[in-house]
Structure 1
Amino acid sequence: MPQGSRPRLRAIIVGAGIGGLTMAHALHKAGIDFIVVEKHAHVDAPVGGLLVILPGSLRILHQIGLLAGLKAVANKTLPRIVAWDPELQSSIASVSDMHVKHGEHALVVERRKLVSFLYEALPDKSKILTSRPVVGVQHEADGVRVDFPDGLFEKGDLVVGADGVHSVVRSAMWECADMKDLGLMKANDRKTVFQQWKCLWGLAPRKGDIDYGYTIRNCGEGRSAGLITGSDKIGMCLTWKLGSDEMRRETQYTADEAEESAASFSRQLLAEDVVFGDLWSAKERGALLDIEVSCQKRWHHGRIVLVGDAVHCVTIVSGFGGNMCIESAAVLANTLHEAIVVNEERAKDRLSGSELETALRRYQERRLPRALKSCRLAHLFERLQAQDGLWMRLSARFVLPWLFPVLIAWIYSQWVRGSPVLDF
């Protein structure tokens, strides 16, 4: 590109989490200019617990050139998934042969370490702007502007909302859509909601002889638990359905509310000889939050587009969340790269607003079916583990123990097979 010329596309990525930083790496590989704005003072803020990164996502990271480095910071490979019923009868599904079927083991990694690794691996860290909470997004004649509380702003061609469940960009997108299209979609019709759950999660040092792997347990009374063990950390979560008279909170619960909830589960067995209260008392961090298994019906408007938890959200127990963020970033990067290549073949310097919106519509068409399928699968998985309803209770007690070893391995294998890849 000649010196002083305007880049062919400039993306403003809001949120330096897994989705936002994967998006940054993918755009860099595609030769697309970007900046990332993050509300926290540090990218590696102590947020989140342990994640499972499946081979499909590892394939995308390998294409970007990040796999070897990620393996160095990952806690452990995932050898097995163990399901415990309320009577502590276990069923074991081995996933240790994932590398045979898909080329790589599933990796267990702390979210904070993954985000820090993605940040450190960026060639130009000056493109990451911290302490930049977004307060507004405005469309302009030839682009879009992102506003910050101190009066500063950034201008670009596209805003990518990777700012999580409580997305400011998503709210701005709907505000812009309502102003232009006079109520494009009613608020309660903007997403497909499968279920709302309450979740208590924590991260603690690994101690004792707790086996490596991922443990899920039906705890009775509509509750399920998850326990994932890395080389030096243990991630835990308890999940139960919101009552019919409860409203999902948009803000995180206070530390006192989390402690009060944890006290009521202090004697809860997560697995054989593993008590929730013992792990919680030793935790490094943890929180109580409401989770909505949902998928937005519209992923873009004008020059605004959403990725990751801002557009699709699942519970912790399924293990899909971080992987879905990586996948959405890859599909959006593919679509933008394709649109730019077509534009250059027509000897045009830049994408027009209508051409960009066509590309974003194509992104949604390509990604939405798999995202919906993933949300449905995560929803079913959670309901089975919580024995939510008569049919789920009967299935979990009399069918799942026999099918679990084969079914779980097959489900995860099929899910990995359908994972997208970068096509440039």
Structure 2
Amino acid sequence: MDSRLKVLIVGGSITGLSLALMLERVGIDFLLLEAHVDIAPELGASIGLCPNGLRILDQLSCYDSLQEKSQNHSVNNSWYGTLAGRKVKEFEGLGGAVIERHGYPLSFIDRRMLLQHLYDSLRQKHKVLTGKRVVSIVKSDDVAVMIRTEDGSSYTGDVLVGADGIHSRVRREMARLDPAHDYIESASLHAHWACLFGISRNVPGIAKGDVGYVFGNRFSYLLGDGPGDRSYFFLTKRLQKRVFGSDIPRFSDKDKEAFVKPHLDDHITSGLRFRDMYDKRMSSVLVPLEEIVYKRWHYGRIIAIGDSSSKMLPITGQGGNSAIENAAVLTNNLFDCLKTSPQNKPTVEQLDTVFEKVQELRTPRLQKFVTMANKRQAVDALLTPELEEFALTRMPQLQAEVILRGFQTEFGQAASLNMLPVPYRPRTVPFADEQPQEKSKKGDIMAKL
């Protein structure tokens, strides 16, 4: 498509770079503005990639190269354990079963590795500008939207997409431009957990291809093997109380050390204390874990997606994959809109319809993921006697098929790019939009989620 539409993207996040790559592939002009000088800054975090996100990356012709860069790393075994270093349940070969069923693996890589790969996959790298922190939306009217950056530059486009995270400047600007509505939702945005994310090297107690979950008392660990000599850790802990809006804390280095100190001697595996892993860290960061699915995503020519529109706990690994799905659904609907727009220039009314459709399609799935992650985190942190009994007594009796059926629900209703082919990957369980009866129901929301 040769489009006159220009999309401004604020934020070189997974959402923002995925969207840029999608727009480029389908012929829609874009300009991405990233606040950091480095497009892939070292922020101490890893990301779990699942079949629902990887299928879209495959459509964008960057799945095979990502696998090569990550040394074909994938999860093979999953296990659950206690702070005594005892495994209560192990699912051997779980990753292989996921590939057989869904065509793609489960994997852990550095978040910056994915960001760099998405950027490297762009042909028009000159359309990604770093060191451009957006400070205001100058105007959003019937003709265009204009933004200004901290260095005094201004940029104009037809659509503005906020992909700038939970502390979104774009969302705050929407609230300023449209004070009649609540875009901030400080009474709903909340955090009841905090997490220490980290990347370590040369940790001997984390087996290749393993992902482990360690039950604690109001806290838990997620441990993952990464490419090469990397290992990842997530130490998630319950805050003393649920906090909302502006009361959600920002943590200092001193806060981080206080957070870590009581856990250094935790036996996270047999023969491995958390101290052993933490001392080998390359990077780490302590953050509050916000949770929300915002009720308002858009205003005029502006829409916020990814973490700017929803946030979930990381334990299920669906945050990044959902962000990729969000970008795909927005691309689908912009692409369809341009087919009927005079001179490929949608009106504000047409864009309002597009944005509302994107929100309607995505909200149920995101709400499901937020709820699912919250319930799962409560189990791993043994929040109640009932959950402790389930984790330590009933979970050891679960069969792998139960986990795989859960994955089928989690992955099966995923979005994809409607205008690009899905490369053939053998799988026994098709995605919903690959099933003939779903393809025939073009108006069916579930076929597009």
* TM-score, reference length from structure 2: 0.86
Residue in structure 1 matching 2:234, options 226, 233, 237: 237
Q: How far apart are residue 407 of structure 1 and its match?
A: 3.0
Distance 1:54 1:308 in 2: 16
Do residues 285 (structure 1) and 280 (structure 2) align? no
Matching residue of 2:17: 21
Q: Which residue of 2 aligns with 1:406?
A: 401
Kindly, what percent of the aligned residue pairs are identical? 26
Q: Given residue 106 of structure 2, which amino acid in structure 1 is its aligned partner?
A: A
| RMSD, aligned α-carbons | 2.1
In structure 1, the partner of 2:87 is: 89
Q: Which residue is 1:111 aligned to?
A: 111
The Cα of 1:184 is off from its aligned counterpart by 4.8
CA contact (8 A) 1:202 1:284 kept: yes
Task: Assess, with a 3 A threshold, how the Cα gap between structure 1 residues 61 and 133 changes in structure 2: closer, same or farther.
Answer: same
Query: Equivalents in 2 of 1:30, 1:157: separation in Å?
Result: 17
CA distance in structure 1 between the partners assigned to 2:344 and 2:234 by the alignment: 50
Amino acid in structure 2 at the alignment position of 1:354: E
Q: Which amino acid aligns with 2:78?
A: I
Match status 1:368 vs 2:357: no
Deviations along 1:134-165, one digit per CA (max 9) or x if unpaired, are 11123134111111122211111111111112
Q: Distance in 1 between matches of 2:262 and 2:82?
A: 20
Q: Which residue of 1 aligns with 2:345?
A: 350
TM-aligned CA distance change 1:185 to 1:159, over 3 Å: closer
Residue aligning to 2:222: 226
Residue 381 of structure 2 corresponds to which residue in structure 1? Answer: 386
Paired letter, 1:198: A
Superposition deviation, residue 332 in structure 1 = 0.8
Matched, 1:217 2:214: yes
Are the counterparts in 2 of residues 73 and 114 from structure 1 also a CA contact under 8 Å? no
Q: Kindly report which structure 2 residues correspond to 1:143-182, keeping only aligned pairs within 5 A, or say none.
A: 143-178=144-179, 182=180
3-state secondary structure, aligned to 1:57: helix
The corresponding residue for 1:64 is: 60
- Paired position in structure 2 for 1:276: 274
Letter in 1 for 2:166: V
Query: Distance in 2 between the 1:342 and 1:375 partners?
Result: 35
Aligned to 2:8: 12
Q: Distance in 2 between matches of 1:413 and 1:80?
A: 18
Offset, 1:400: 2.3
Change in Cα spacing, 1:375 to 1:245, as seen in structure 2 (3 Å) is: closer
Where structure 2 has 5 or more consecutive residues not aligned to the other structure, the ranges are 420-449
Q: Aligned partner of 1:401: which letter?
A: P
Distance 1:73 1:252, change over 3 A: farther
Cα distance in structure 2, aligned partners of 1:208 and 1:389: 33
- Residues 263, 188 of structure 1: alpha-carbon distance in 2 compared, 3 angstrom cutoff: closer
Rounded Cα–Cα distance in structure 2 between residues aligned with 1:394 and 1:91: 14
Q: Provide the aligned length of Structure 1 versus Structure 2.
A: 411
Hey, what's the Cα distance between the residues in 1 that align with 2:358 and 2:67?
30
Unaligned runs of at least 5 residues, structure 1: none
Q: How does 1:239-278 map to 2 (within 5 A)?
A: 239-244=236-241, 250=248, 252-278=250-276
In structure 2, the residue matched to 1:202 is 198
Q: Secondary structure at the match of 1:99?
A: helix
C-alpha distance in 2 between matches for 1:188 and 1:51: 27
Determine if contact 2:57/2:63 at 8 Å carries over to the other structure.
yes
The 2-side partners of 1:388 and 1:173 are apart by 38
Change (3 A) 1:47 1:184: closer
- The answer (yes or no) to whether the contact 1:74–1:110 under 8 Å persists in 2 is no
> TM-score of the superposition, structure 1-length normalised?
0.91
Q: Are the aligned partners of 1:214 and 1:229 in contact in 2 as well (CA < 8 Å)?
A: yes
- For residues 47 and 287 of structure 1, the distance between their equivalents in structure 2, rounded to whole angstroms, comes to 7
1:421 shift after superposition = 0.7
One-letter amino acid of the structure 2 residue matched with residue 309 of structure 1: D
